[in-house]
Amino acid sequence: MCGICGKLQFDPEATVEPELLDRMMAVISHRGPDSHGTYLAGPVGLGHRRLSIVDLSDSGSQPMCNEDGTVWIVFNGEIYNYQELRKQLIQRGHVFRSTTDTEVIIHLYEERGTNCLQQLRGMFAFAIWDKPRQRLFLARDRVGIKPLYYCQQPGAFWFASELKSILVDPAVPRAIDLSAIRRFLSFYYPAGQDTLFGLVKKLLPGHYISIERDKVSIVRYWDLHFTKDRWTKSFEEAVEELQTLLGSTVRDHMIADVPVGILLSGGTDSSAVLSFAVQGTKKKIKTFTVGFEGGQVVDERPYARQAARQFGTEHYEISISAEDFWKFLPSYVWHMEEPVCEPPAVALYYISKLAREHVKVLLSGEGGDEAFAGYPNYPNMLRLGLVGAAVGPLARPLGAMGAIAGKLLAEPRLQRYGAALGNSFSDHYFSRTSGPTFYFNRQAQTLFTAEFLEDSASADSAAFVAEMAAKVKDEPLLNRMLYLDTKTWLPDDLLIKADKMTMANSLELRVPLLDHQVLEFAASLPPNFKVQGGRTKRILKAAFAKVLPEEILRRKKAGFPVPYASWLRNEFSKGIEDILLSGLATSRGYFKRSEVTRLLHANSRDGNYSKEVFSLLVLELWHQRFVDLTRPDSDVQSVSGLLPAYDPVNNDR
């Protein structure tokens, strides 16, 4: 796991300054504290920060080149089938100077060009400079486990593992995209390719960029396809096939020349990963879990301890207080780089910090819910679909009645599912991602200033969802839900959180349940193999029925349940008011101060607006960290000289 960055000048006579690459690498040094290197050749410059995982010798250093120095690469990630590919390439005459997966990509690219991506199994973001073709080739893994940002301007192209590395260059325009802010407030995370800095983009999962001279093309090389009505085997045969597939996948994810541990929540997914991990090594595995002081949420530690005892791990725990959470928030925004309403990410940071004292690689059960349908809204929506089909034309008026009842009873869940009855799939999905109260969408005219509404009018979040839903319009309802979650919520919220919080502690996180072969296997299954009645993750739980304790298999999903809602209403209430009602915050012109005050008071009263309040908080902290640069925290001080100050008068820089 590493950090990569670089710049390409479109003028072949131009050069990239070594000092710029040094600054770009410095701001992401946490991604690779072990070593660093650069490649500079006329119009191109590549930078790399290394976290040594495989082949710890200097032969594994990057940037790395082929035998004659004509192809160079900077790479972030892991290729799990690299040993098999390496043997094939050696048989075809390629000469290797290291035992790394990085060098495999180079030689595979020499043979297959951009088609090399089809043979790579793993998580990755990389950039290859092909000197003879004068081509810069960048790619991101199929699911979006590893991030890759870029900025294209008439004279140059920048890329990096983290947005802040690109912003180091004063030549990068830094205009804020108000439509992106509006979309963030719709989804509670920045969805799709846009960032809040409008001209800096995210390369979408399963895509690559090819640049030859000044011609830039972006190509999708992979998508998730469902194979409905093609599965002919029995449920029992599918269970056996899944057990075999997960066993080999977890073993591949255990490959490392450094200690490996397991992030253990005590749920089915992480416990399943652990059950295979202990089979693949003779070493005692270390496991890690987190809890919270105060007892306002479900404590996952007893379940994690139970799994740790069963599989004989060396188990570690950490407890987080409200004070820990509050103090970390400015740094949370700094590392996440964009406002994301994901309080469990703070817990992930602290548990990663603990784990880094003992291991350099962690495996987690992330992705099991998206692959095998683990969220409770899946069976809820399936039931709703049956009701809608049964009542036919009466669905929409009945839905309206349910929504009104939910509003009168102050019951967000009844309001949500009632309103969904009779709506299109994309309309319901959009409202679901907008939170239980739909606050930022329904209260837009009240909350936002007229100027902000006008300037952000191009933010059509519902159209974004509808466009994606159209790709799977002929699929069964469950497959449509899984597709959208895999394409939006998973990469833009969960995986960004997983990458940024672990790499903040120089720790590599691997997610075997999101191996693309596992995802494709899950997509080939009939929907009732995943959800049946109210049962979620049916096949995954069946695969481990004889391995995991019944208490773990049957417990309700929790997933780092952080008591932030209580903290927002109590311990943090005064601090939040000071931040959100300050002259600095209100001067941005996004929200009416009176309505923000009303929202804070409403949340203090009943706690129904925790996501909304937390979203406004991280949005304001994001402005302070990336726009104002006023925070006195040490990590900002260390980079404040690297990031050009934002000029509110001339905000195109």
> Could you report the per-residue pLDDT of 309-338, keeping only the tens digit for each?
999 999 999 999 999 999 999 999 999 999
**DSSP calls for 30-54:** GG-BSEEEEEEETTEEEEEEE---S
Better-scored residue on pLDDT, 556 or 458: 458
Is residue 412, in this structure, part of any structural domain at all? yes
Q: What gap in Å lies between CA 466 and CA 424, rounded to an integer?
A: 9
What's the full length of the chain, in residues? 653
User: Which of these three, 220, 252, 278, is where a domain ends?
Assistant: 220
Q: Are residues 395 and 516 in the same domain?
A: no
Average pLDDT, the chain: 88
The band of 559, judged by pLDDT with boundaries at 50, 70 and 90, is low
Is residue 21, in this structure, part of any structural domain at all? yes
Question: Quick one: pLDDT at residue 394?
Answer: 44
Residues 88-93: what's their mean pLDDT? 95
Question: Quick one: pLDDT at residue 407?
Answer: 47
State the pTM of this model: 0.92
Is residue 226, in this structure, part of any structural domain at all? no
Q: Are residues 537 and 621 in the same domain?
A: no
Q: Are residues 399 and 533 in the same domain?
A: no
Question: Quick one: pLDDT at residue 345?
Answer: 95
Q: Are residues 88 and 144 in the same domain?
A: yes
Structural domains counted in the chain: 4
Q: Are residues 501 and 462 in the same domain?
A: no
Question: Quick one: pLDDT at residue 426?
Answer: 74
Question: Quick one: pLDDT at residue 635?
Answer: 46
Q: Are residues 362 and 271 in the same domain?
A: yes
Better-scored residue on pLDDT, 435 or 429: 429
Q: Are residues 78 and 156 in the same domain?
A: yes
Q: Are residues 168 and 245 in the same domain?
A: no
Q: Are residues 212 and 118 in the same domain?
A: yes
Domain with 66 in it: what CATH number?
3.60.20.10
DSSP tag of 279: G
Question: Quick one: pLDDT at residue 330?
Answer: 94
Q: Is the pLDDT of residue 155 over 80?
A: yes
Question: Quick one: pLDDT at residue 197?
Answer: 96
Question: Quick one: pLDDT at residue 55?
Answer: 72
**164-221 per-position pLDDT tens digit:** 999 999 999 999 999 999 999 999 999 999 999 999 999 999 999 999 987 899 999 9
The band of 651, judged by pLDDT with boundaries at 50, 70 and 90, is very low
Task: Please give the C-alpha separations between residue 643 and each of 91, 472, 602, 621, in angstroms, as whole numbers.
Answer: 48, 42, 38, 16
Q: What gap in Å lies between CA 125 and CA 4, rounded to an integer?
A: 8
% of the chain exceeding 70 in pLDDT: 87
**373-422 per-position pLDDT tens digit:** 998 888 888 877 665 555 554 445 545 544 444 444 444 554 555 555 55
Task: Please give the C-alpha separations between residue 556 and each of 28, 72, 203, 381, in angstroms, as whole numbers.
Answer: 38, 48, 35, 18
Question: Quick one: pLDDT at residue 634?
Answer: 39
Per the structure, the complete domain to which residue 192 belongs is given by: 2-220
User: Which of these three, 439, 455, 486, is where a domain ends?
Assistant: 486
Task: Specify the 3-state DSSP secondary structure of 578.
Answer: helix
2 counts as catalytic = yes
Q: Is the pLDDT of residue 424 over 90?
A: no
**252-309 per-position pLDDT tens digit:** 999 888 899 999 988 899 999 999 999 877 788 999 999 887 666 677 888 899 999 9
Q: Are residues 320 and 440 in the same domain?
A: no
**336-364 per-position pLDDT tens digit:** 999 999 999 999 999 999 999 999 999 99
Question: Quick one: pLDDT at residue 647?
Answer: 37
Better-scored residue on pLDDT, 385 or 502: 502
| 284 in Cβ contact with 313 (< 8 Å) | yes
Q: Dihedral of CA 605/609/611/615: which sign?
A: negative
Q: Are residues 481 and 624 in the same domain?
A: no
User: Which of these three, 176, 196, 220, is where a domain ends?
Assistant: 220
**DSSP calls for 321-388:** -HHHHHHHHHHHHHHH-S----THHHHHHHHHHHHTTT-SEEE--TTHHHHHT-STHHHHHHHHHHHH
Strands 361-363 and 260-263, sheet pairing: parallel
Contacts of 496 (CB under 8 A, 6+ apart): 147, 189, 336, 338, 340
Q: Of 2, 5, 116, 151, which one is the catalytic site residue?
A: 2
Tell which residue, 558, 562, 574, 564, has the closest CA to residue 615.
564
Residues 514-527: what's their mean pLDDT? 96
Is residue 225, in this structure, part of any structural domain at all? no
Question: Quick one: pLDDT at residue 432?
Answer: 64
Question: Quick one: pLDDT at residue 383?
Answer: 78
Residue 35 burial by CB count (10 A; 0-12/13-18/19+): exposed, middle or buried? middle
Q: Are residues 187 and 46 in the same domain?
A: yes
Residues 446-474: what's their mean pLDDT? 91
**600-650 per-position pLDDT tens digit:** 999 999 888 999 999 999 999 999 999 987 444 434 444 444 455 433 333
